[in-house]
Amino acid sequence: MRENTQRRAWQEQANARANGDGARLIYEGAEPFGVETLQRWRLGNGLTVLVLVDISAPIVAYHSWFRVGSRHERPGKTGLAHLFEHLMFGETENLGAGVFDRKLEENGAETNAATWVDWTFYHELLPSDRFKLAVKLEAERMQRLVLREPQVASEKEVVANERRYRVDDDVEGVANELLYRTAFERHPYRWPTIGWMEDIQAFTPEDCVDFYRTYYAPNNATVVVVGDVKERDLLPAIAEAYGAIPRQAIPAEDIMPEMPQLVERRLELRKPTASEKLLVAFKGPALGDADHATMTLLSEVLFGGRASRLYRTLVVERELAIETRGWVSTFRDPGLFECWNTARAAHTASEIQPVLDEAFERVRTEVVTDDELDRAKARLELGSLQQLETVSGKAEQIGFYDTVLGDPAHAFRRVDAFRRVTAGDLRRVARRYLVDATRTILHVVPERSPAPAEAAR
Amino acid sequence: MTRPRVAALEPLRFDLDGGALALLEASRAIPLVSVVVALRCGSAKDPPGREGLARLALRMLRRGAEGLTAEQIDFRIDSLGAEMAVDTAASSVGIHAQVIARNTDAFFDLLARLLATPTFPDDEIERLKRESVAEIVEARDSDRVVAQKALQRTLFAGHPYGHNPGGTVRSVEAIGREDILAFYRRHVVQANLVVGIAGDAAPERAPALARQLLAGLPRGEPTADDVTEPSMSPGRRLLVVDKPERTQTQILVATMGTSPLDEDHVPLIVANAVFGGTFTSRLMKEIRSKRGWSYGASARLGVDRRRQGWVMWMFPAAQDSAPCLKLALELLEAWVAGGVTPREVSFIQRYLVRSHAFDVDTAPKRLHQAIDVELLGLPRDYFSGWIPRVSAVTPEAATAAIKNRIRPDDLLSVVVGMASQVNDALKGSIPRLADASVVPFDIE
């Protein structure tokens, strides 16, 4: 209570000095983040600020999440959100090329960014006495980025090289891209976040300027600050730095929902790789769907850890595979439940497929044992805790769940949801989602190199 | 909720009765406990023809103990909300585990039992060998891993640092039960172990927990460190690792680096950070920012008990590979000839000093630093005295360290790519090239 009185006092002082309505601080309340407390603020211009004070180390994580990702692109312009993320480290009206990074490095800070289907985020990790530098730099590039031809051309080359590294010369990268392109026919999840190579190479500075003006606005962003910082120092600094940035009319999303898949899709990919790979992907639930946590638990029972059903059968007992793993995509709209299998050199995908089918049939017809359920829950609890070990990890969890679901403490709600799941729930989601007609199967076949491994050994 | 600040930067140390050392870094920041059981020797001690033995022997720990099958062990680890993996390097091999704090006692009971009573069942040994071989084959899909392995075996040819900690298909297949038993009897003894505990474990209980872990092991003797100092073959060499259907290359350029006991070790770290240690370093600026040739471009110094490599890394499109390598070599020569400027040194010192906070912000990180000090034979204040030592480096000392340690005429360049596409151009991009060869990517 006393804390809130103090908070109101300095908030009023800051607002009395505010330069325009955009810089007004609005306190939106506290919410529990595990045993800690998250404070939610908003600026008059719509910028959301989430603060978690954590003084376990003298450092601060400063994350800027934008509600824009590759889902907001259109065919012919794929990869723009990601290219733009690269350009955000370039020149601004007040900072020459390279100065953004140099200033951060000089102050000991680490910085990077990431883009995916639903979001883009920028992160800094700073010594706590340097947090105002991140405030200043992030506000600067939210409004005064310079986008000119030489920089755009050079960064397109960098991104093309990133694509070669992550996709074109990486069998898993190519397979993943092909899987999503086949599984989705209408929804933007069908194109890769890094973009098709021809689109990357065709972008102009005008494309980038349009994108910047459309999506990089305070009312389309959330700043997350976790670490050894005081709200009364942080919030006025944020209000001052961002307050003059005008809000924008963010266009309504014009996304074609994916039509239900009624027929299984199969395809084959030939690559110079050591062994066959088999990807089986069912249409899965959206992250915000109550079934998402349940499907995640089902995936854990099947694929999580050495004691999981499919790891035991495929890798340990029958030695058909060297790797088997499952993942329920954590997207805002319904994504995929992906099952990735790497066959051993002497075995084939056709030997793995029936084992998967049998395992899927079993979870559709029988309930899993209590031991299996408990193991999966314990593993997911461990994974959830591991994601919260550092201030950066906490900031990422807060920013991700706030951006995708509007619920910054959802990480804890998920753990609670995992605890409540019963064996019957798993069977229900297995029946709902593990439907053969909704799956896409990709078979990666090795193209043998001229010098076979055995001969060269 | 407020939490205690980090009180000290060095973990508590306990000498256990059997000659082992225990390190504890307590923290209530998150209800997790990390544990490390590390040997004071690693893959450098693998017998010739049995490379991969240290790693295989420790991986066997979860494949059978008295009264427990491999399956039961796996089930138990998962049900406790724990993870357990083996980390293998030239100078140390160890078990790294983490568990939800409420299950600490049960997990330590299990780990103590695995350490004290491994059964090394024949069928499980053969199963793990097949698994290891499959992993080696699968790793050929990663061009970066292929490049690193090729660099290691060529740069340190004939030296124990030259073999991969995971071994080769042939060496793993040659390992027998007797090899594993002999390794275990000789090296997994109390006097050869360092135990680390970090996280949500009460400090007063740590010595007892550490003792409990090792209780079933004989006292033994520490393994002698008789690894010799590696030397570098003279001249400039190019090794192209031929892999089909590549659109880019992975380029590693290496020479011999530094030993942490060298007086100019820290000055060289400072000089290297200027050259290729950050996003605004010389390499990154010239190769990525100005030309867009590679997504990444960096240089790093390996740290080990003996002198490790100094390695540059970049991955340009196939058609840019030769000009990119040529430029990297020019930058290297300019760095060696001209050294670093006072302005560069003062900039990078600010970066290295201020960013040090991120190396010590969690209990597991602080623990791992203390373990590295023990296992790599680093000076006791290597990490705790990091800030004053980095701050004390002068531009003259940094420049002298480069000239003293980095030999641009003794240089190994390893390139993974399509040889037919890049080999000739690459040869032309290396002045004074003494030797060039091409090998297939699946040689190991």
Using CB atoms, pick whichever of A57, A308, A452 lies closest to residue B6: A57
Residue B216 half-sphere exposure toward CB, CA atoms < 13 A: 14
Using CB atoms, pick whichever of A57, A98, A106 lies closest to residue B289: A98
- The domain over range A265-447 is classified in CATH as 3.30.450.20: no
CATH second-level architecture of B12-214?
2-Layer Sandwich (3.30)
CB-based contact (8 Å) between B174 and chain A?
no
Kindly list the distances between the CA atom of residue A109 and the CA atoms of A84, A124, B274, in Å, as whole numbers in the listed order: 22, 7, 16
Q: Which tens digit of pLDDT belongs to each residue from B201-257?
A: 988 888 899 999 999 999 999 999 999 999 999 999 999 999 999 999 999 999 999
A305 contacts in chain B (CB < 8 Å)? 74, 77-78
Q: Which residues are CB-contacts of A419 (< 8 A; sequence separation ≥ 6)?
A: A377
Question: Where do the domains of chain B lie?
Answer: 12-214, 236-440
Q: Which tens digit of pLDDT belongs to each residue from B395-404?
A: 999 999 999 9
For A65-102, b/e burial (b = at least 16 CB within 10 A) is bbbbbbbbbeeebbbbbbbbbbbbbbbbeebebbebbb
- Residue B13, pLDDT score: 92
Reduced to 3 states (helix: H, G, I; strand: E, B; else coil), residue B437 is strand
- Residue A19, pLDDT score: 84
Residue by residue, DSSP assigns B64-131 as EETTEEHHHHHHHHHHTTEEEEEEE-SS-EEEEEEEEGGGHHHHHHHHHHHHH-B---HHHHHHHHHH
CB-based contact (8 Å) between B8 and chain A?
no
Contact B81 A382 (CB under 8 A): yes
Using CB atoms, pick whichever of A105, A371, A450 lies closest to residue B279: A105
- The CA-CA-CA angle for residues B205, B211, B217, to 5°, reads 165
- Residues of chain B with confidence (pLDDT) below 70: 1-9
DSSP-assigned letter for residue B30 = S
CATH topology of domain A2-242: Cytochrome Bc1 Complex; Chain A, domain 1 (3.30.830)
CB-based contact (8 Å) between B5 and chain A?
yes
ipTM of the complex: 0.94
d(CA B107, CA B95): 13
Contact B440 A449 (CB under 8 A): yes
Using CB atoms, pick whichever of B247, B285, B361 lies closest to residue A169: B247
CB-based contact (8 Å) between B82 and chain A?
yes
d(CA B108, CA B128): 24
Q: How many CB pairs under 8 A join A and B?
A: 212
Residue A9 Cα to chain centre, angstroms: 37
d(CA A225, CA A202): 36
For B177-191, b/e burial (b = at least 16 CB within 10 A) is eebbeebbeebbbbb
* Least Cα separation, residue B223 to chain A (angstroms): 32
Q: Specify whether the CB–CB gap between B214 and B193 falls below 8 A.
A: yes
Contact B245 A447 (CB under 8 A): yes
Amino acid at B216: G
- Residue A4, pLDDT score: 82
Contact B3 A54 (CB under 8 A): yes
Report the Cα–Cα distance between both ends of chain A, in Å, rounded.
72
* Least Cα separation, residue B229 to chain A (angstroms): 29
d(CA B306, CA B326): 30
Q: Specify whether the CB–CB gap between A343 and A275 falls below 8 A.
A: yes
Q: Which tens digit of pLDDT belongs to each residue from B356-394?
A: 999 999 999 999 999 999 999 999 999 999 999 999 999
Question: Where do the domains of chain A lie?
Answer: 2-242, 265-447
Q: Which residues are CB-contacts of B46 (< 8 A; sequence separation ≥ 6)?
A: B52, B53, B54, B160, B163, B167, B171
Do the domains A2-242 and A265-447 sit in the same CATH topology, yes or no? yes
- Residue B8, pLDDT score: 47
Q: Specify whether the CB–CB gap between B230 and B410 falls below 8 A.
A: no
- The CA-CA-CA angle for residues B142, B144, B150, to 5°, reads 105
- Residue A1, pLDDT score: 62
Q: Specify whether the CB–CB gap between A152 and A208 falls below 8 A.
A: yes
DSSP-assigned letter for residue A182 = H
Residue A415 Cα to chain centre, angstroms: 18
* Least Cα separation, residue B25 to chain A (angstroms): 14
Contact A323 B248 (CB under 8 A): no
Q: Which of residues 394-433 of B touch A (CB under 8 A)?
A: none
- Residue A449, pLDDT score: 52
Kindly list the distances between the CA atom of residue B295 and the CA atoms of A62, B254, B298, B331, B442, in Å, as whole numbers in the listed order: 24, 20, 10, 18, 26
Contact B246 A378 (CB under 8 A): no
Kindly list the distances between the CA atom of residue A265 and the CA atoms of A22, A53, A172, A174, A181, in Å, as whole numbers in the listed order: 51, 49, 19, 17, 11
Contact A379 B98 (CB under 8 A): no
- Residues of chain A with confidence (pLDDT) below 70: 1, 448-457
Q: What are the φ/ψ torsions at residue A124 (nearest 5 degrees)?
A: -125, 145
Using CB atoms, pick whichever of B1, B360, B441 lies closest to residue A37: B1
CATH superfamily of B236-440: Metalloenzyme, LuxS/M16 peptidase-like (3.30.830.10)
